[in-house]
Amino acid sequence: MQMFERQFVRVNEWLVLLILAAMTVIVFTNVALRYLTNYSLIWAEEVARYLMIWMTFVGAGLVLRAGGHVAITNLHDLVPPPVKRALRIVVAMILLGFFAGMVWFGHDYMTRMGRQLTPATRVPFHFIYAAMPVGFALLIVHFLLVLRHYVATGGSADDRPAGGG
C-alpha cells in the first residue's frame, strides 16, 4: 500500500507541475508576444484560466495531505483526547460525505452543461467541468490514504513516521 501511495502522490505532483508549467509558458508567451509584436494569442487567457481550474482541483488532495486547508480547531482544542478522536471520526465522515457529494454533483453539472463550447477555443465545457468530479475523487483517495493517521493523531500526512500509518 505504501508503494501505491508514493506512486499516486508522485503522479499527482507531476500532473500539478505539468499544468503549472503549461500555464506559465502560455501566459509568458502571450505577454512577450503582446509587448514585442503587439499581437497576442486570442486563446491564451482562456486556456490559462481553465488550466488554473484544473490545477486547483487536481492539487487539492496534495494540500489536504499536508494539512494546508483551512481548519477551525477551537472545539477540538477544548475537549479531552478521547473526545478529540471521536470528533475527528465525525469530521472524517462529514468530509468523505462532502467529497462524494461533490463528485456526484460535479459529474451531474458536467453532463448537463458540457455541451456548451468555450468562447475562444471552442472546446466543450465538459472537459473544463470534469475538473470538479476528478479533483474530488482524488481528494477521496488522498484522504483515505491518510485517514488512519488523521483519526489517530489529528496530524497530516507530512508528520507521519517513515513507515506510514
- Give the pTM: 0.89
Single-letter amino acid code for the residue at 51: L
What is the Cα 77 distance to its own chain's centre? 27
Structural contact between residues 93 and 15, judged by C-beta atoms closer than 8 angstroms:
no
| 22 Cβ contact list (under 8 Å, min separation 6) | 51
Could you tell me the pLDDT band of residue 163, with boundaries at 50, 70 and 90?
low
The pLDDT tens digits for 98-115 are: 999 999 999 999 999 888
Q: For residue 27, is pLDDT > 70?
A: yes
Q: For residue 12, is pLDDT > 60?
A: yes
The pLDDT tens digits for 66-98 are: 888 888 888 888 889 889 999 999 999 999 999
Q: For residue 130, is pLDDT > 90?
A: yes
What is the Cα 17 distance to its own chain's centre? 13
User: 124: which strand partners?
Assistant: 117
Q: Could you tell me the residue ranges of all domains in the chain? A: 2-159
Mean pLDDT for all residues in the chain:
92
